[in-house]
Structure 1
Amino acid sequence: MIYIYNDYGGTHTTSLAAAYHLKQLPQSERKLSKEEILNVKFFNKLTKEDFGKLIFHGIDDERNSVYTIGRKRNKYVVPALKEMSLLLQEKFKFDEKIVFSNTSPTVPFAMSMGGFFSRGLKIDVIGVPLLVKGAKQCCDNIYRLVENTKEVGRTTFSENVIILDNKMYK
């Protein structure tokens, strides 16, 4: 199975989701520390050149691949990836399940502003504290989103490509 966490920038909530998924963060809904947040691989490290790229984060304990992607405002990226995946599955006769999970609904205002200042304007002195504050606000939602994503991946047998909007985390 392949898990692909996606959102606007692909460097904050998606990186946290991948870290939770890969058990690189505590497996609970507790608030993360500043150090835990800032030590997450790719957290606040990707640039505009990384938009639209699948970023590999690792293999989970069930031998599933975990990726992230920043899709900007383009609502067609994930549906296009789904169609491409289905085409490749049919043409090459492989049945690897792919789960796309949208982390955008977990993003609080502080994280949006932090990303704007840090990634957009390159003002880390303002952006990073806001990102940490935002990550602390939403880490419990991200943890639950990841647990739900993994459960859907394990239990949904009728589809090979699944898109989770995750709107219940708003």
Structure 2
Amino acid sequence: MHIIYHCYGGTHTSVVASYIHIGVLPTDRIPTKEEIEGIPMFDKLNGQNDTGHIVSVGSDEYGNIIYSLGVKSGKKLIESALKDLYYHLFNNNNGLLIIDTSSATNWIMKIGGFTSIALKMPIIGRPLVTYGVRKAYKNIVQIVKNIKAQESAEYNAIKR
């Protein structure tokens, strides 16, 4: 299965959710500032994880590939395009999950992300966005837990 977490810029909630999903970030506590900022793609545009690029983050315990993606304001367009492409390649959409993590984004993250990325002032923006992620962390974890529950149910149904 291919699981794609996406948000507006692709450098905050989708990245954090992806790393929670593969077990790099914890589900039982709020990570430290250093743990969050230590994620390779967190609050960074570097060509690979610019908006519109699907970045493979790793695999989960079921062998599913986990991705992160920034969609800007093209969420519906990109979701439809991904579903159509997957269907044309595999004749079904059973192996594809596309998850919008932007519901976990708070105003602190928006201001911090804008300051860090758009204004190119990460020295000011990154601490703000990290603080915002820590405030929203339980919500991001809940999104991932919901997906993992769905994933586990599908895995167990296939295994029987």
- Do they fold alike, i.e. is TM over 0.5? yes
TM-score between the two structures when normalised by the length of structure 2? 0.88
Amino acid at match of 1:79: S
> Sequence identity of aligned pairs in percent?
35
Q: Distance in 2 between matches of 1:73 and 1:7?
A: 10
TM-score (norm 1): 0.83
Distance 2:100 2:110 in 1: 15
Counterpart in 2 of 1:5? 5
| Secondary structure at 2:24 match in 1 | coil
Q: Name the CA distance, whole Å, in 1 between partners of 2:53 and 2:84.
A: 17
Partner of 2:150: 152
Q: Distance in 1 between matches of 2:94 and 2:103?
A: 27
Residue range with higher mean Cα deviation, 147-156 or 50-59: 147-156
Trace 1:1-170 onto structure 2 (pairs within 5 A): 1-28=1-28, 30-47=29-46, 50-74=50-74, 75-90=76-91, 97-155=95-153
* Contact in 2 for aligned 1:9/1:70 (Cα 8 Å): yes
Is the contact made by 2:108 and 2:129 (CA closer than 8 Å) also made in structure 1? yes
Which residue identity does 1:102 align to in structure 2? Answer: D
Structure 1 residues without counterparts, runs of 5 or longer: 158-170
Distance 2:144 2:32 in 1: 19
Distance of aligned partners of 1:95 and 1:125 in 2 relative to their CA distance in 1, 3 Å threshold: closer
Residues 32, 61 of structure 1: alpha-carbon distance in 2 compared, 3 angstrom cutoff: same
Separation of aligned partners in 1, 2:45 and 2:140 = 19
Larger displacement relative to structure 2 (47-56 or 103-112): 47-56
State the number of aligned residues. Answer: 153
Q: Structure 2: how far apart are the matches of 1:156 and 1:87? A: 22
Moved over 6 A (4+): none
State the alpha-carbon separation in 2 of the partners of residues 133 and 41 from structure 1.
17
CA distance in 1 between counterparts of 2:153 and 2:84 reads: 22
Change (3 A) 1:76 1:95: closer
Distance apart, 1:124 and its partner CA: 1.4
Aligned-pair Cα RMSD in Å: 1.9
Deviation at 1:95, TM superposition (A): 7.2
- Judge conservation of contact 2:83–2:93 (CA < 8 Å) in 1: no
Does structure 1 retain, via aligned residues, the 8 Å contact 2:86–2:93?
no
Is residue 47–residue 119 contact of structure 1 (8 Å, CA) maintained in 2?
no
One-letter amino acid matched to 1:118 = S
Contact persistence 2:116–2:122 (CA under 8 A): yes
